[in-house]
Amino acid sequence: MSAALTVADSKRAFHSAFPYVIGPLYRRMVDELLVELHLLSRQQGFQADALFAVGLVQVFDGFAKGYRPEGQRLPLFDALCSASGFNGAALRQQHSAARAAMGKHSVEAVKQWIEQQGNDAPEPIASALASIQRPDFHYSRLMAVGLMALLEQAQGADAMDPAALRSYAHDLGASMGLLRDRLDKDLKLYASNLEKMAQAVELMEETISAEKRKRERRSSAAPAAPTPPSDTPSEGGSAPGVQTAG
């Protein structure tokens, strides 16, 4: 993507690709991801590797949960990506491939891969681990989320306490050359914001359901329409007409 393009250019490209109204609950998420992806696209040392792909999809899917209409969720993701020169479909493929690869190995195997700087790790994880060793490597909070999400897919991770797994992610991140404090801060902030978003979505859905029930009660309580006269018309006469309000 051209370095001359601004955040405003990315926003215009996004709205051109996604010309739909975005609900108030999701506007902040969309705006923050637009800005973040734009800035990452301008970093020479940044690569859209598996850690980034998993983190981006994880963040989007988590914060877009409950988005309506549901059929617009995937076009929204694709528009966010394309506005800054990323390929949404390719990133989702990376996300699926990395998660599938991680699910075939144990947490201990992941530790060995990292200690060996990616040796014996399956693709696309090997490339992601190798990219971190580059001198021009550029860190993104999405990579921290991606690391945690991949660890959760490893065999044995579901038997670990969530706090222990998060601590393990911090240790692995530090051994990968990522700043432990930054990683810890980014993961805590992500978890906190995701919880708040889930609560907001739940409240929104409860409000919608309550309004629907209220409308149904009003409808059922509405007075019945007047009953037409039951007099039988005289022979040769016409049926009574429908009575309208004067």
Per-residue pLDDT tens over the stretch 186-223: 888 888 888 888 888 888 888 888 888 888 888 887 66
- Write down the pTM of the prediction: 0.80
pLDDT given for residue 229 in this prediction: 59
pLDDT given for residue 241 in this prediction: 38
Could you give the percent of the chain with pLDDT greater than 90?
A: 36
**Range among 67-76, 127-136, 155-164, 168-177 with highest mean pLDDT value:** 67-76
Cα separation, 26 vs 161, in Å, equals 31
Could you give the percent of the chain with pLDDT greater than 70?
A: 88
pLDDT given for residue 127 in this prediction: 82
For residue 110, give both structure tokens. Answer: 């992941």
Q: By three-state DSSP, how is residue 46 classified?
A: coil
Query: What pLDDT band is residue 128 in, cutting at 50, 70 and 90?
Result: confident
**pLDDT at position 26 over 50:** yes
Per-residue pLDDT tens over the stretch 176-192: 777 778 888 888 888 88
Q: Give 106's strand partners.
A: 155
* 7 exposure class (CB count in 10 Å sphere: 0-12, 13-18, 19+): middle
Q: By three-state DSSP, how is residue 151 classified?
A: helix
Contact present, 108 and 62 (Cβ < 8 Å): no
**pLDDT at position 231 over 60:** no
Per-residue pLDDT tens over the stretch 79-107: 999 999 999 999 999 999 999 988 888 88
pLDDT given for residue 228 in this prediction: 59
Q: By three-state DSSP, how is residue 123 classified?
A: coil
Query: What pLDDT band is residue 112 in, cutting at 50, 70 and 90?
Result: confident
Q: Which of 63, 44, 59 is nearest to 144 (CA)?
A: 59
Backbone angles phi, psi at 27, to 5 degrees: -65, -40
**pLDDT at position 122 over 90:** no
**pLDDT at position 3 over 80:** no
Higher pLDDT, 175 or 62: 62
Cα separation, 144 vs 28, in Å, equals 21
Q: From the CB of residue 47, how many other CB atoms can be counted at a distance below 10 Å?
A: 17
Domain boundaries, the chain: 7-201
pLDDT given for residue 223 in this prediction: 64
Q: Which of 29-38, 187-196, 227-236 has the lowest mean pLDDT?
A: 227-236
- Taking residues 107-130, what's their average pLDDT? 80
Query: What pLDDT band is residue 232 in, cutting at 50, 70 and 90?
Result: very low
- Taking residues 106-113, what's their average pLDDT? 84
pLDDT given for residue 224 in this prediction: 56
